[in-house]
Chain A
Amino acid sequence: MVTLFAVVVLTVAGAGLARASVDELAGLRLTPSAIPSLLGPIDGHGRAGWECAPEQAARATEAAHAELPSPDR
């Protein structure tokens, strides 16, 4: 988590927090959301008919079924 904000911290520290201005904030690069976890294992028979959970998550058209990160930070 600390490394996630390394870019932001370094940029702001370099500018000097006590003198934060609009221009300095303009140089601040925000961190994208988390990289998702890998989809899980598949057994020897699990892909028959593409019914296995990882393939279904990969094909899901709605985020709620795609095993994507939640807004937990």
Chain B
Amino acid sequence: MRFAAVALLALCLAPGAAAAQMYPDIHPIPRTTDPAKLRETAVGREIQERFRIGFDAEGRGDWAAARAEFDRIVELHPSEPAGSSAYYDRGLAQFNLNDSAGAAASFAAAIRLDPDFLAARTNLVTVDLQRGDVGGARKAAEELIARAPQSARARYVSGLAALKAGDAPAAARDFGALLERSPGYAVAHYDLALAEVDLGRLDDAERDLRAALRLAPKYALARFALGTVLARTGKRDEARAAFDEAALASHDPALVNLATSMRDALSH
């Protein structure tokens, strides 16, 4: 009898035995019988699980499955930051399902919930640019720049929207600001040069295109643009050489054909 009692006590105190009785804490046992709190706990678990499933679906490119999960999360009205994140992820799924208008609406909803959500703001500008809503893109970009004037991505998408709207001064400001912090970014030199061409500042455009090409010698699009600027400033031989080099550097058949045609046209 005494032996049995000691054995029972030892079993109770053994750490291994105690650990075997424990449950993972990812689903804590509700310590309430209040219906409202039980429902809140259940909804919280559903949101957490649907986020995990939806995020995994996005990772493997199953956008329809992802959208279904985020649609449901949005219906559950989660608190922040889950609410704006759900709208953001739903926007990504919608965009990849070719529903650009829906995607823009979802990113806008994410921003309403959290105005500091810059990833949602930049994605909204990008979606508006993709669907050709230049006015919408410019408005969203203006609000983005107001909150994050130092953001490289904000300056880039804002500059693109300005270029597409034909607002060369605004585009030059955006790409100029981007280059202040990233002077080694060849693409910004190219876009700044396009704005400078529109402003009639051909010498500045040539300088920026040459800067882009120093940074990225195989940048065929910049090489082609340089050819057009050189031709417009009367440097036909240099322009011809630039078009020739653009044709050699490009892997895009359309650009190769165009550059070759320009080169040949300048030979006459």
A interface residues (Cβ-Cβ under 8 A, vs B): 1-2, 4-5, 8-9, 12, 17-20, 22, 25-26, 28, 30-33, 35-44, 46-48, 52, 54-55, 57-71, 73
Contacts and interface: CB of A to CB of B under 8 A. Distances in A.
Q: Which of A17, A35, A62 has the most CB of B within 10 A?
A: A35
B234 A22 contact: yes
B48 A44 contact: yes
Contacts of B154: 58
Q: Tell me if B's interface is mostly helix, strand, loop or mixed.
A: helix
Interface of B: 47-48, 51-52, 55, 58-59, 66, 81-82, 85, 88-89, 92, 95, 117-119, 121-123, 126-127, 129-130, 148, 150-154, 156-157, 160, 163-164, 178, 181-182, 184-188, 190-191, 194, 197, 212, 215-216, 218-222, 224-225, 228, 231-232, 234, 250-255, 258, 261-262, 264-266, 268
A73 B228 contact: no
A31 B222 CA distance: 10
A60 B254 contact: no
Contacts of A39: 119, 122-123
10 contacts: A5-B258, A22-B234, A30-B194, A31-B221, A32-B194, A41-B92, A42-B88, A44-B55, A58-B148, A59-B151
B152 A43 contact: no
A51 B84 CA distance: 16
B216 A33 contact: no
Contact of A58 (B52, B92, B122, B220): B122
Given A36-B126, A58-B153, A63 B182 contact: yes
B153 A36 contact: yes
Given A38-B95, A47-B85, A33 B190 contact: yes
A49 B267 CA distance: 60
B191 A33 contact: yes
Given A25-B231, A58-B151, A68-B185, A17 B265 contact: yes
Contacts of A57: 119, 153
B244 to A, nearest CB: 15
Contacts of B81: 47-48
Contacts of A46: 85
A9 B254 contact: yes
Given A69-B187, A71-B216, A73-B220, A63 B85 contact: no
B157 A71 contact: no
Nearest to B85: A42
A40 B258 CA distance: 35
Contacts of A60: 151-153
A39 B144 CA distance: 15
Given A54-B119, A58-B122, 15 more contacts: A2-B253, A12-B262, A20-B265, A25-B231, A30-B194, A33-B191, A33-B221, A35-B129, A38-B123, A41-B92, A57-B153, A58-B151, A66-B152, A73-B220, A73-B221
A43 to B, nearest CB: 4
Nearest to B50: A44
